[in-house]
């Protein structure tokens, strides 16, 4: 998303400041539904918005809240807002131009100020890259295969750091106030967990708590072929995000880097750049599918936990797709209820767990689009995977 042009579009998603902005902005601003696009130079936008439209507790730099985007992206962004019906609006956060539901604004400073502990273990990823699978593996290793303890919901054992930005502030009908998915519960769990805390995040590396640099907790990052990620994310968004568009439109959103937690490559490459640091382990979904025992050994060594061959075999069986898909503790039933306004849904959180399912979904034209998109984003990078385009 380039910002070099002198004439740019600044897209501001903020329901709390909309009324104020509509009164204060000048006539060169165009309103498109609930999204306001400003056609100004970067300097002009900074003067216009620097203090008037930025909440002081979010950031000192306007770039942390407002995204500079080219004109071509504006209609796509408007369409996204109408397609993902579970969310009211979106913000785009710098550095990295990460797309997030607009409630992120209320939590940004809390995330930045969160006190990391050196004993923490974080699992990070872009959505649908094997996060839940990795979380269960990590928790079981750290807890010496306590399968009885693993019967507790994963969101109690391994809370989702930025969960509060995804859900309404009011308790959804039909959801117990003490459910780990209820408003405020994930943040409470994180801040009251004994050491070592296990925490999940999809945030880009630069947006992690500022204390990460000093306290250096262990971070395990898992990634996956973006074509499979896109396919899985599509079905996930139908179940949890109220997505109402076609698959072809979703591919456009994904390649346009406009879905929540996008851009994909900014997410991946930020962690890839840190892979040589002692507290960071980079793994891939495809490695886990090819030989899970090898990955279990790598993760165990990284966490300084010794597992004997029998324990590795037992854990491998526990982590099989057959076992995981039937495991209510990791299938996030409460999440599905939250995102569907408390209503029960006859759907599964885990769908196939396959490598290469994109071949059953992407057209030849879409495959070529993925190729161009990948090549563009990997120019100058030493990232060696997911470039096997024919």
pLDDT in tens, 64-80: 343 433 334 445 567 77
Question: Which pLDDT belongs to residue 34?
Answer: 27
| pLDDT attached to residue 239 | 83
Domains of the chain: 8-108 (no CATH), 114-377 (3.40.50.300)
pLDDT at 390: 56
Q: Distance between CA atoms of 160 and 240, rounded to whole angstroms?
A: 15
| Amino acid 342: pLDDT | 44
pLDDT at 329 (0 to 100): 75
pLDDT value at residue 75: 53
202 annotated active-site: yes
For residue 207, the tally of other CB atoms under 10 A from its CB is 21
Q: What pLDDT, on a 0 to 100 scale, did the predictor assign at position 82?
A: 77
Per-residue confidence (pLDDT) for residue 267, from 0 to 100: 97
Q: Sign of torsion, CA 159 164 165 170?
A: positive
Q: Pick the catalytic residue: 202, 276, 318, 361? A: 202
Contacts with 276 (C-beta within 8 Å, 6 or more apart), sequence order: none
* Mean model confidence pLDDT for the chain: 79
Q: What is the pTM of this model?
A: 0.79
**In the chain, which stretches have pLDDT less than 50?**
1-74, 334, 336-339, 341-347, 349-350
Residue range 335-377, pLDDT digits in tens: 544 445 444 444 454 456 678 899 999 999 999 999 999 999 9
Radius of gyration of the chain from its Cα atoms, rounded to whole angstroms? 21
State the pLDDT at residue 22. Answer: 38
Residues 260, 250: Cα–Cα separation, whole Å: 12
Q: 214 by DSSP, 3-state: which?
A: helix
SS (H, E, C) 298-367: HHHHHCCCCCCHHHHHHHHHHCCHHHHHHCCCCCCHHHHHHHCCCCCCCCCCCCCCCCCHHHHCCCHHHH
pLDDT digits (tens, 9 = 90+) for 281-340: 999 999 999 999 999 999 999 999 999 999 999 999 999 988 887 777 787 654 544 445
């Amino acid at each position: 998303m380039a910002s070099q042009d002198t004439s740019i579009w600044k897209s501001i998603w903020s329901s709390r400041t909309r009324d104020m902005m509509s009164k204060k902005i000048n006539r060169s601003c165009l309103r498109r539904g609930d999204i306001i696009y400003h056609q100004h130079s970067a300097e002009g936008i900074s003067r216009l918005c620097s203090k008037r439209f930025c909440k002081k507790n979010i950031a000192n730099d306007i770039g942390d809240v407002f995204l500079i985007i080219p004109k071509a992206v504006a209609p796509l962004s408007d369409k996204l807002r109408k397609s993902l019906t579970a969310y009211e609006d979106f913000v785009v956060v710098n550095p990295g131009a990460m797309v997030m539901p607009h409630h992120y604004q209320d939590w940004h400073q809390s995330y930045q100020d969160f006190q990391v502990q050196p004993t923490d273990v974080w699992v990070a990823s872009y959505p649908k890259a094997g996060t839940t699978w990795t979380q269960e593996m990590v928790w079981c290793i750290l807890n010496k295969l306590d399968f009885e303890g693993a019967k507790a919901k994963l969101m109690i054992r391994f809370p989702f750091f930025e969960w509060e930005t995804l859900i309404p502030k009011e308790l959804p009908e039909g959801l117990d106030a003490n459910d780990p998915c209820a408003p405020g519960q994930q943040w409470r769990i994180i801040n009251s967990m004994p050491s070592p805390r296990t925490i999940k995040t999809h945030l880009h590396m630069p947006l992690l708590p500022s204390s990460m640099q000093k306290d250096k907790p262990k971070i395990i990052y898992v990634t996956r072929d973006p074509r499979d990620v896109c396919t899985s994310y599509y079905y996930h968004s139908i179940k949890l995000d109220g997505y109402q568009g076609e698959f072809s439109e979703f591919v456009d959103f994904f390649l346009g880097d406009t879905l929540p937690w996008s851009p994909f490559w900014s997410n991946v490459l930020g962690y890839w750049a840190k892979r040589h640091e002692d507290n960071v382990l980079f793994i891939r979904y495809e490695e886990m599918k090819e030989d899970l025992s090898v990955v279990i050994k790598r993760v165990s060594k990284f966490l300084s936990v010794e597992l004997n061959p029998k324990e590795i075999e037992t854990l491998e069986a526990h982590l099989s797709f057959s076992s995981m898909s039937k495991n209510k503790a990791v299938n996030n039933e409460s999440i599905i209820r939250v995102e569907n306004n408390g209503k029960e849904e006859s759907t599964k959180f885990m769908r196939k767990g396959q490598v290469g399912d994109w071949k059953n979904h992407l057209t030849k034209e879409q495959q070529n689009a993925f190729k161009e998109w990948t090549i563009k984003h990997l120019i100058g990078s030493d990232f060696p995977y997911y470039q096997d385009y024919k």
